[in-house]
Amino acid sequence: MSAAAAVSTAPWDLKPAIVAALRTVYDPEIPVNIHDLGLVYALEIYPGGRVRILMTLTTPGCPVAQEFPATVAAAVKQVPGVSDCEVEIVWEPPWTTERIPVADRLRLGLL
């Protein structure tokens, strides 16, 4: 059996690895990863390893808004068992610092 065949693509198996991959992608203006910043609003995993992510950015004028979805998708596609990843930027609800976990808000001086 090949290594690829041994990888499960059940959604409950892929989610921890996808979240770990999201934690490797950092916001360009705040030194916190996009998952812990609360920028990821939805993570959908479909049969066959297709992934769809709805996320936002800290501001609509973010300088990397155009290329950031591709950056996020590339990180997620590195997860064994993920066959494709679509990333959609949404603006509702607007992002606020309240979406950042308390420990990170303390570290960033936001509390």
Q: How far apart are CA 72 and CA 78, in angstroms?
A: 10
Domain boundaries, position 31 = 3-107
Question: What does pTM read for this prediction?
Answer: 0.83
Residue 7 is predicted with a pLDDT of: 46
Residue 11 is predicted with a pLDDT of: 59
Structural domains of the chain, count = 1
Q: Which residues pair with 88 in a beta bridge?
A: 54
The CATH code of the domain that includes 16 is 3.30.300.130
Q: Which long-range contacts (CB under 8 A, 24 or more apart) does 66-71 make?
A: 71/25
Collect the ranges in the chain with pLDDT lower than 50: 1-8
Q: List phi, psi (to 5°) of 44.
A: -115, 130
Residue 18 is predicted with a pLDDT of: 97
Residue located via tokens 């910043």: 37
Q: What is the CA radius of gyration of the chain?
A: 15
